[in-house]
Amino acid sequence: MRKNKLEISDEMKKARLKLSINHYIKYFLGKRTCELTKEEAFYAIALAVREFAMDELYNSMARYNSRKSTKRIYYLSIEYLIGRSLENNLHNLGLYNVLKDIKLDGFPDFSLEEIFDTEYDPALGNGGLGRLAACYLDSMASLGIPGFGYGINYQFGLFKQKFENGWQVEQADGWSADSSPWELARADRQVSIPLYGHVETYKDASGKDTFVWTNTHTLYGVPYDFPIVGYNGKAVNYLRLFSAKTDDEFDIDIFNNGGYIEAVEDKIKTESISKVLYPSDAIEAGKALRLSQQYFFVSCAIQDILRRFLEKNNDFDKLPQEVCIQLNDTHPALAIVEMMRLLMDVYGQEWNDAWDIVTKVFAYTNHTLLPEALETWPAKYFARMLPRHLQIIYEINRRFMEFARSKFGENKEKLDKVSIVMGEGDAQIIRMANLSIVGSFSVNGVARIHSDLIKTSLVPEFYELWPEKFSNVTNGITPRRWLLHANTYLASIISDKIGKDWITHLELLEKIADFADDAEFVHKFSKIKKINKDILRQEIFKRSNVAINTKSMFVVQAKRIHEYKRQLMAILQVIGDYLAIIRDHARPICPKTYIFAGKAAPSYTFAKLVIKLINNVASVVNNDSRVGDALKVVFIPDYKVSVAEILIPAADISLQISTAGFEASGTGNMKFALNGALTVGTYDGANIEIREAVGEDNFFLFGLRDEEIKKIRPTYTPRKIYEESEYVKRILNAVNSNMFCEKESPTLFKPIFDELLNRDYFFVLADLEAFNEAMKKAEKSYLNQEEWTKKAIYNVAKMGYFSSDRAVLEYAKNIWHVEVVKDKVPVTDFEEEAKSA
């Protein structure tokens, strides 16, 4: 008789894992073990580990399904930055040590690290938004919450960043979307998606209008599932990503008449929907492609969600009890409209019933206050591609505006601000944030200040209409990837002192504050920082051929390149230090290495010029013999999760210097602090809460606050600062001279000079001196290494609140109203299986 066993012994796991790896080497790769390359070794191991993940996934699904009612959370996001999975999955499934113990006959002499290093880092995201989604999936699985990610299986994801003569160039990042060992194509779950066509109106027998969307093109969404393995295999959920496929593959008539390209053109056009993340929106076609991507993915998701729900239910009454859909920013906002369409046109619901259901299912997280980042789409795109959706949007807006009028009277200004539809005729646009707020029962920001600003500055009129909808959930990061795996040495001395429970209860880190005076712990802690810095040093040498000094203070700014994040201010401060060295013979208080990483959007010319400036300053400073070790500048190309994992544990200073009021939260700020870096930062985003947690003395705050900026803005004249401050003037003059572009056009950086002098929308000049002072303070503090390490330990100790487990539990309790599914019922008996094999 088969026994159900909760725990399988390591010996059994070992036998099974070994068997599977051998199986994949022989029957999948068709190789002899001794001939394996590192990439093939990775592949075989990953496929074998996936079996364990799948078993746990079936277990988790069985557990969710065995209950009378299980509410599922669907997280819809246009980006996911899940990072490499093998090491993570090995740890989380308890297979890491098991694998280490396995000896395969003839297996080449590769270390596990070398094998991990060959894994492709899936570039299915751009920045914080995508990484947050990945951290939340990790936490949901680790907590046992039935939460699933939905998105697009981009063939090329975001671009690969290279530098050519200091300029960013973009290359396609073929991360192998259809050959990752983790993904499982689910052809059986393919969905069809109508597009284009027109709407015809009929009267039904009762005289009621019915709408038929007809003459459409059909494309197909094929799901690919990635197992998301929770810590300790508590639950395995999945991330379901859709690839676009079409069946009008190939037109033989066109081909036979010589149209070799045209014969597959339709196919190429349709499938381009899942080719790249954020196609350039500088041209109309790119913009329209983005909208079709968003529709494609939400249609796939909503059809899949409704199908699953209908497997257990005959009507939609219980949908809000069983389904909650979290919109990660506005990119998936069309899901609201798509669900309305499906409920009415496919399932025959009346408008009122459908709307009642929809508005109990959707919750919206806003991730930006930048007005230009709040998505809008020309109504004419809808008219052409999604005519039925446009009708539904007009009707949602008509009904909503009636309600708004009942509250605001004829206050035109307020009514204009809340309307989903704006403008007339060809210029008419649809505002996705307004649609998201109207269609959701919950709207949250991602840090305290951000959530407050949503209510007071971004959409105060909506707050007036529905104060109860608005809340805050400060972002969080997963301790598994960002400490346990990224910084194994630090993780292990922490566990030695306080045990391992911090991995799932990060607030327990608080206990290590007690060891800030323990000489041995302090010594170990600082030694680990040195080791991590040395690992980064080697990596930088390999990638950029720059030699850096690990005794210098590592000052790191790693994030998307954007004017509001002010990488420009950081490099101006570097120039200030450089000028002090060469003109005043004044060395910095301590030697420093500035390390930048991040990508600029391909069409963002100014951001790309900032990258060029940083690279040019680096080449001048690094090659000036007068500078030596005192100052170095490095820009690491192609920032991604696997780079972050090396970079973050090595940082001494984390630069979080956005213009106050612009950074919604930041999550890099949390990762750096968790790894013992001290922040030099503005009063913005989650910096504010981090500073409160770690204490004012362990955080270098500077700069104007949001309310000050709002006050000054109308009369702000940056030229005055330039004229009055010698410090600012000489830096800007250097930028405008040929100092950093000697062999190139002498006016190369003039656009930067002009922008700063004439406009300076992001208050770089206003904050530059304060920033420099904060840096000097940090440098002074760094001279006393013992004190510094204590501050670093406090930073680590106080980061408990910033765990994504806490954030996800807040969503679960206050927004999703979902329970953690605890009971564990195994369906597979590995022991029996391993024996019989």
Q: Would you tell me which residues interact with ligand NBG (CB under 6 A)?
A: 127-129, 132, 329, 367-368, 373, 446, 475, 663-667, 685
Q: Is 240 a catalytic residue?
A: no
Query: Could you tell me which residues come within 8 angstroms of residue 742 by beta carbon, excluding any fewer than 6 positions away?
Result: none
Q: Which amino acid is at 170?
A: E
Catalytic site residue from 560, 599, 791, 798? 560
Give DSSP secondary structure letters for 581-596: HHHH----SS-EEEEE
Bridge partner list, 829 = none
* Residue (161 or 475) nearer to ligand NBG, CB: 475
* Residue (667 or 795) nearer to ligand NBG, CB: 667
* Residue (554 or 662) nearer to ligand NBG, CB: 662
* Residue (303 or 366) nearer to ligand NBG, CB: 366
* Residue (365 or 487) nearer to ligand NBG, CB: 365
Q: What are phi and psi of 638, to 5 degrees?
A: 60, 60
Cβ 365 to ligand NBG shortest distance, Å: 7
Q: Is 565 a catalytic residue?
A: yes
Catalytic site residue from 365, 504, 667, 682? 667
* Residue (128 or 588) nearer to ligand NBG, CB: 128
CB atoms within 10 A of CB 453: 20
Q: Is 559 a catalytic residue?
A: yes
Q: Is 667 a catalytic residue?
A: yes
Cβ 364 to ligand NBG shortest distance, Å: 13
* Residue (53 or 473) nearer to ligand NBG, CB: 473
Instruction: Tell me which DSSP letter residue 800 carries.
Output: G
Q: If you count them, how many residues does the chain have? A: 837
**Residue 178: helix, strand or coil by DSSP?**
coil
Q: Which amino acid is at 276?
A: V
Among the listed residues 485, 552, 565, 548, the one whose alpha carbon sits nearest the alpha carbon of residue 764: 565
Query: 731 and 570 in contact (C-beta within 8 Å)?
Result: no
* Residue (447 or 528) nearer to ligand NBG, CB: 447
Cβ 477 to ligand NBG shortest distance, Å: 10
**Helix (H), strand (E) at residue 679:** strand 678-681
The rounded distance, in Å, linking the Cα atoms of 466 and 523 is 54
- The tokens for 74 are 């669907």
- The tokens for 780 are 């002074």
Cβ 331 to ligand NBG shortest distance, Å: 9
Query: 799 and 512 in contact (C-beta within 8 Å)?
Result: no
Among the listed residues 498, 473, 462, 463, the one whose alpha carbon sits nearest the alpha carbon of residue 483: 498
Catalytic site residue from 91, 565, 612, 790? 565
Cβ 132 to ligand NBG shortest distance, Å: 4
Q: Is 367 a catalytic residue?
A: yes
Cβ 681 to ligand NBG shortest distance, Å: 13
* Residue (302 or 664) nearer to ligand NBG, CB: 664
- The tokens for 486 are 């990224």
Report strand pairing: 72-76 vs 323-328. Answer: parallel
Report strand pairing: 362-365 vs 209-214. Answer: unpaired
Instruction: Tell me which DSSP letter residue 332 carries.
Output: T
Bridge partner list, 358 = none
Cβ 275 to ligand NBG shortest distance, Å: 21
Catalytic site residue from 559, 592, 599, 790? 559
The CA-based diameter of the chain, rounded to the nearest angstrom, is: 90
Place of tokens 């104007």: 704
Cβ 690 to ligand NBG shortest distance, Å: 12
Q: Is 560 a catalytic residue?
A: yes
Query: 816 and 73 in contact (C-beta within 8 Å)?
Result: yes
* Residue (127 or 149) nearer to ligand NBG, CB: 127
Query: Could you tell me which residues come within 8 angstroms of residue 669 by beta carbon, excluding any fewer than 6 positions away?
Result: 654, 656, 679, 681, 685, 686, 687, 690
Cβ 666 to ligand NBG shortest distance, Å: 5
Give DSSP secondary structure letters for 471-531: EE----B-HIIIIIITTHHHHHHHHHHH-SGGGT-GGGGGGGGGGGG-HHHHHHHHHHHHH
The rounded distance, in Å, linking the Cα atoms of 240 and 10 is 30
Place of tokens 């206003």: 766
Catalytic site residue from 71, 245, 367, 791? 367
Closest residue to ligand NBG: CB criterion: 128
Catalytic site residue from 16, 431, 671, 691? 671
* Residue (221 or 685) nearer to ligand NBG, CB: 685
Cβ 473 to ligand NBG shortest distance, Å: 10
Q: What are phi and psi of 518, to 5 degrees?
A: -90, 110
Give DSSP secondary structure letters for 541-574: HHHH-----TTSEEEEEES---GGGTHHHHHHHH
The rounded distance, in Å, linking the Cα atoms of 622 and 629 is 9
Query: Could you tell me which residues come within 8 angstroms of residue 119 by beta carbon, excluding any fewer than 6 positions away?
Result: 42, 46, 84, 85, 86
Cβ 679 to ligand NBG shortest distance, Å: 14
Angle subtended at Cα 687 by Cα 683 and Cα 693, rounded to the nearest 5 degrees: 115
Residues labelled as active-site residues: 367, 559-560, 565, 667, 671
